Amino acid sequence: MKAFEFLRENNHDGLTVVLDKGLPPKFVEDYLKVCGDYIDFVKFGWGTSAVIDRDVVKEKINYYKDWDIKVYPGGTLFEYAYAKDKFEEFLNECHNLKFDAVEISDGSSDIPLEDRKKAIEKAKDFGFTVLTEVGKKMPEKDKKLTICDRINLINFDLNSGADYVIIEGRESGKGIGLYDGEGKVKESELEELARRVNVKKVIFEAPQKSQQVFFILKFGNSVNLANIAFDDVISLETLRRGLRGDTFNKISPISNNTQ
Amino acid sequence: MKAFEFLRENNHDGLTVVLDKGLPPKFVEDYLKVCGDYIDFVKFGWGTSAVIDRDVVKEKINYYKDWDIKVYPGGTLFEYAYAKDKFEEFLNECHNLKFDAVEISDGSSDIPLEDRKKAIEKAKDFGFTVLTEVGKKMPEKDKKLTICDRINLINFDLNSGADYVIIEGRESGKGIGLYDGEGKVKESELEELARRVNVKKVIFEAPQKSQQVFFILKFGNSVNLANIAFDDVISLETLRRGLRGDTFNKISPISNNTQ
Amino acid sequence: MKAFEFLRENNHDGLTVVLDKGLPPKFVEDYLKVCGDYIDFVKFGWGTSAVIDRDVVKEKINYYKDWDIKVYPGGTLFEYAYAKDKFEEFLNECHNLKFDAVEISDGSSDIPLEDRKKAIEKAKDFGFTVLTEVGKKMPEKDKKLTICDRINLINFDLNSGADYVIIEGRESGKGIGLYDGEGKVKESELEELARRVNVKKVIFEAPQKSQQVFFILKFGNSVNLANIAFDDVISLETLRRGLRGDTFNKISPISNNTQ
């Protein structure tokens, strides 16, 4: 039972995806007692998994599993393996380490669409939940993508079997994807996107509080958000429930205008 | 005994109020071994208490109590309960969870002065230490408050029985209360405030290091500071004692010009 | 064995110096399971050691020693003791607490060159690894140092017996040393420095990710970096190995152009 149970309302079914960039194992076990209920996926950011002991990686995945949280390595690790022609070994290692999901992306490399499709299908065949990511890591490359390019790729990935598509925002949330240099959302682009894709299948990387507030007020408290820092999970949950100043009195129960 | 005991000087009696926005319980126990001596109050920020398990909330409060630290839920939770006409239940739950203090505020809602006074009195009757807060969460509302409004409200709260009054700065410390958009202190407003209120009863939210330095150099190392991030408590204590570059050689023992 | 061992490459011998500004002891023990392999030195920042219990300081140093990590108190603590004519007591206490290294600096005070040399020699005589620091804590004082001043002092310190020289960047990495107000590296000054000192003996304080990326791309993945936040150690290791977008495909094995 939660404290102050009599104030409980504004339930939601928005996905929360946390960025774990190398948390210590016992700390993870401890921290899930506070916020394990509010996390759906954890990404071991970019290639961080590959510099950490196997035993520690497995121990952490186990703690997350205890709370029904799905864990996956960052897309950059997939790209790194793929570029070295070790996709099969990558999937086997993900399986052995007990990852539940994988991310297929092309943020740091170029992968033809046909190969992207095959990668998604192969990962699904292995039994993984598949998330893909749309966007480039380097701002100068990313800004060449029009909103139409992004929309087309989102729908391509979903049609190829991806379970969810993540919109790139990086750890900073600035000058990338749907964000301008200060981290403000480009609203007209977002609206175009919302008209042409199924927003329930999209997860927005929104590392900054102002961005989380924006998406919640725009799409309702069930909007899917990613790249949440581990120490912001509780804050995000209070934002979704109207328990923080920024969304106080602005959340309507079942306020999901994403459909 | 502290390390390097022979260097110990510049004692102070400034209050340090830490913002806990959802720390894991065992981590809290561990972390107090490092800085428990330097914390007077811990605020479980805004409505975070209401999304965390009762047992975890109680466990954490116990760890803090072991170090004589008083814990209270953020003012936003009071406002949330108050708006739903559940103030009595709120106070009972605070009592059952063993909170020592409560915060009465109107940062996210509007509460008539007479009701504010009654709320302070009722919380005092329940046996709580009462902190109030002056300021609005939304910058556009907050900037309508003149410095005279703030001063009058501080004195109103103290006359109503509040133990301390907190000056709003939020987690960011920017564009709110006494801070401009970059987080710099509006000095003439602060000086007006210092002339007309008892600064020993005021606690300044000062989340940024530059703000902590400013207040220490302005009012002496016994100035009361709040919204200190858990990982800045040790840094703040070194600032108060002249053990960091920013205040090195600038602290005079018993340098308290706040009276 | 690390996870995804088959992807392991881009080894390096760059030093990583972590800033510990008061981490809890059990957390340190836990966190080293994740990143202990990648840390060479830990600095207990500025005077933080002097406000923490001796037993806790010793316990933490022991955990670091288990991973062959050398620990030293920040230079500001040396300066504080030195200014009070307690250098001998300072060195004895460092010895008793089992610190492996000390930092000699003048960031917050002025110390004649001859005394600086003697301090370095005395610390060496006590058996400590000696790091010195070049730069002033206050931007207005620091900017009076020309790049030639910095270069001369680096070589002076190395000739006096210092093991490494740290280039000041502070916790923020802005408006200090080689960084402009936005934290960008002043490239022409850096190049002048690289021409005239042995870069293998220099450690650059580089708290921001963009700065870490810059130095790795400029000098190779074996460049020595300091003031790394504890939760950025894993990120830095992935940057050195080309496992993060910013350096993906940009690291050549044994890519060390610092010699």
Asked if the C-beta of C95 comes within 8 angstroms of chain B's C-beta atoms, the answer is no
- C249:A83 CB<8 A: yes
Identify the bridge partners of residue C131 per DSSP, sorted by sequence position: C103, C164
Average pLDDT, chain A: 95
DSSP C180: -
CA distance A173 to A179: 7
Note the maximum CA span of chain A: 55
What is the DSSP annotation of B36-94? GGG-SEEEE-TTGGGGSBHHHHHHHHHHHHTTT-EEEE-HHHHHHHHHTT-HHHHHHHH
Residue A183 has pLDDT above 70, yes or no: yes
Q: Is C63 near chain A, with CB under 8 Å?
A: no
Please indicate whether, in this complex, the C-beta atoms of B4 and C81 are within 8 angstroms of each other: yes
Q: In terms of pLDDT, which residue wins out, B173 or C85?
A: C85
Question: For every one of its 259 residues, what pLDDT tens digit does chain B have, with 9 covering 90 and above?
Answer: 999 999 999 999 999 999 999 999 999 999 999 999 999 999 999 999 999 999 999 999 999 999 999 999 999 999 999 999 999 999 999 999 999 999 999 999 999 999 999 999 999 999 999 999 999 999 999 989 999 999 999 999 999 999 999 999 988 889 999 999 999 999 999 999 999 999 999 999 999 999 999 999 999 999 999 999 999 999 999 999 999 999 999 997 554 444 4
Q: How confident is the model at residue C172 (pLDDT cuts 50, 70, 90)?
A: confident
Residue of B nearest to C97 (CA): B3
Task: Summarize pLDDT for A49-62 with one digit per residue, the tens.
Answer: 999 999 999 999 99
Query: Which phi and psi angles does A18 have, rounded to 5°?
Result: -100, 140
User: C79 contacts in B (CB within 8 Å)?
Assistant: 248
Cβ neighbours of residue B28 closer than 8 Å, sequence gap 6 or more: B20, B60, B63, B64
- Indicate if the pLDDT at residue A92 is higher than 60: yes
- Whether chain A has a CB inside 8 Å of the CB on B227: the answer is no
**Which residue among A24, A50, A93 sits closest to C31, beta carbon to beta carbon?**
A24
**CATH class label, A12-241:** alpha beta
pLDDT digits (tens, 9 = 90+) for C106-132: 999 999 999 999 999 999 999 999 999
Q: Is B46 on the interface with A (CB under 8 A)?
A: yes
**Considering chain A, what percentage of its residues have pLDDT values greater than 70?**
97
Written as six digits, the tokens of C115 are 């005394």
Q: C128-167: per-residue pLDDT in tens?
A: 999 999 999 999 999 899 999 999 999 999 999 999 999 9
CA distance B153 to B132: 10
Phi, psi of B202, rounded to the nearest 5 degrees: -105, 140
The conformational region for residue C175 under phi > 0 = left, psi -120 to 50 = alpha, else beta, is: left
Give me the residue spans of the domains in chain B.
12-241
Cross-chain residue pair A3–B90, CB shorter than 8 Å:
no
- Point out the residue among A1, A6, A238 whose CB comes nearest to the CB of B86: A6
pLDDT in tens, A206-222: 999 999 999 999 999 99
In this structure, the strands spanning B101-104 and B70-73 are unpaired
Asked whether this complex has an ipTM greater than 0.90, the answer is yes
* Those residues with Cβ within 8 angstroms of residue C84's Cβ, 6 or more apart along the chain or in another chain: B7
Contact A87/C at CB under 8 A: no
Residue C167, beta-bridge partner list: C134, C204
Please check whether residue A109 touches C, CB under 8 A: yes
Quick one: pLDDT at residue A81? 98
Q: Does A23 touch chain C (CB under 8 A)?
A: yes
- Residue % of chain C over a pLDDT of 70: 97
Q: Please give the Cα distance from C206 to C209 (Å, whole number).
A: 8
- DSSP helix/strand/coil, A83: helix
User: Over the stretch C11-57, which tens digit does the pLDDT of each residue have?
Assistant: 999 999 999 999 999 999 999 999 999 999 999 999 999 999 999 99
Residue B217 identity (one-letter amino acid): L
Which residues face B164 on adjacent strands?
A: B131
Place of tokens 């610390």: C123
Residue of B nearest to A29 (CA): B24
- Cβ of B244 and C90 within 8 Å? no
Cβ of B56 and A35 within 8 Å?
no
pLDDT, residue A74, reads 97
Amino acid present at A69: I
**Per-residue confidence (pLDDT) for residue A200, from 0 to 100:** 97
Residues in chain A: 259
Instruction: Provide the whole-model pTM.
Output: 0.96
On the question of pLDDT at A259 being above 50, the answer is no
pLDDT for C253 = 58
Among the listed residues A102, A97, A100, the one whose alpha carbon sits nearest the alpha carbon of residue A52: A97
Mean pLDDT score of chain C: 95
Residue C95 pLDDT greater than 70, yes or no: yes
Q: How far is C21 from chain A (nearest CA, A)?
A: 18
**pLDDT over threshold 70, residue C256:** no
